[in-house]
Amino acid sequence: MTDVSYRELSLNGLWKNNPAIVQLLGLCPLLAVTGSVVNAIGLSLATCLVLITSNTAVSLIRNIVSDAVRLPAFVMIIASAVTCIELLMQAYAYELYQILGIFLPLITTNCVILGRAEAFACKNSLLPAIYDGLIMGLGFGLILVLLGALRELAGTGALLADMDLLFGPAAESWKIVLIEDYQPFLLAILPPGAFIFTGLIIAVKNLIDARIQSRMDAMKEKPVKGSKRVRVTGTIS
């Protein structure tokens, strides 16, 4: 498989086959840690890095590892990638590491990563595999950040709070208070809020898809009225 279209890959990862809202994979971290933008960015960065690393490694060893043991091999690769990322976060963003807690090591079991390793990386050469990891990670991360932003906004009336956990002290002033005197809407921050908002995002995505589809149908050439042949008697040529 050498003729991989990068355009197709991008479209797939970001929209048509988005891991979070179409494949509905990796919902556990999606629902658990998207209470704020900073958590979402932290986790999506980690997931994206793991995806790229694991796709790279899996693509490199795809001809060496036999079919029978491929899954344990993939899981080992993913687990070591996750451990590296976890140690990195512990070193450079310790507070965020503590907030994300168990959900960092749990990236190992995130179905998106194993799914891409099995469905794409082990069948494709290095560059497309890396690109696929990047795009799928981005698609996952975008939804995570969108969900985090929606929930933070609905929950606290502000955006980008505590960004210094990830970007250093310079980011302390990034917080935007959109609504003063906002009564915290706890439901949005609690897990049920994650389910409700994910559902709404999926609904909006489906709505946009339906719109596009109906526009495409409208643009399709319609058969001219009256041109239909009533009876066909035999072929001409």
Partner 1 sequence: MALMRITSPHAHGPMTTSRVMQNVLLATVPGIIVLTHFFGFGVLVNIAWASILALGFEALALRLRKRPLGFYLGDYSALVTAVLLGIALPPYSPWWLIAVGIAAAILLAKHLYGGMGYNPFNPAMVGYVVLLISFPVQMTSWAPPRGTGELPGLLEALQACFTPASFDGVTMATPLDVLKQNNSLLLEDLWQQNVQFGRWAGLGWEWANLAFLAGGLWLLYQRIYTWHAPVAMLTTLTLMSALFYDGGSSASGGSPLFHLLSGATMLGAFFIITDPVSSAVSNRGRLVFGGLIGILVYLIRVFGNYPDAVAFAVLIMNLAAPFIDQYTQPRTYGHASNRSDG
Structure tokens at 97: 């590491």
Residue 134 near residue 148 (C-beta atoms within 8 A): no
Contacts of 167 (CB under 8 A, 6+ apart): 174
Instruction: Pick the stretch among 96-104, 128-136, 188-196, 229-237 that binds partner 1 (CB under 8 A).
Output: 188-196
31 binds partner 1 (CB under 8 A): no
Cα–Cα distance for residue pair 6/55, rounded to 1 Å? 16
Instruction: Pick the stretch among 5-13, 63-71, 112-120, 183-191 that binds partner 1 (CB under 8 A).
Output: 183-191
CB-wise, 127 or 190, nearer to partner 1?
Answer: 190
190 binds partner 1 (CB under 8 A): yes
CB-wise, 67 or 180, nearer to partner 1?
Answer: 180
Three-class DSSP category at 148: helix
Measured from the CB of residue 151, what is the shortest distance to partner 1 in angstroms? 12
192 binds partner 1 (CB under 8 A): yes
Residue 35 near residue 151 (C-beta atoms within 8 A): yes
What is the 3-state secondary structure of 82-111? HHHHHHHHHHHCHHHHHHHHHHCHHHHHCH
Among 187, 204, 208, 210, binds partner 1 (CB under 8 A): 187
Residue 47 near residue 29 (C-beta atoms within 8 A): yes
Measured in whole angstroms, the distance separating CA 97 from the mean position of its chain's CA atoms is 20
Measured from the CB of residue 36, what is the shortest distance to partner 1 in angstroms? 17
208 binds partner 1 (CB under 8 A): no
Measured from the CB of residue 107, what is the shortest distance to partner 1 in angstroms? 29
84 binds partner 1 (CB under 8 A): no
Among 71, 126, 186, 210, binds partner 1 (CB under 8 A): 186
Structure tokens at 83: 């451990």
- Which residues contact partner 1 by CB under 8 A? 183-188, 190, 192, 196
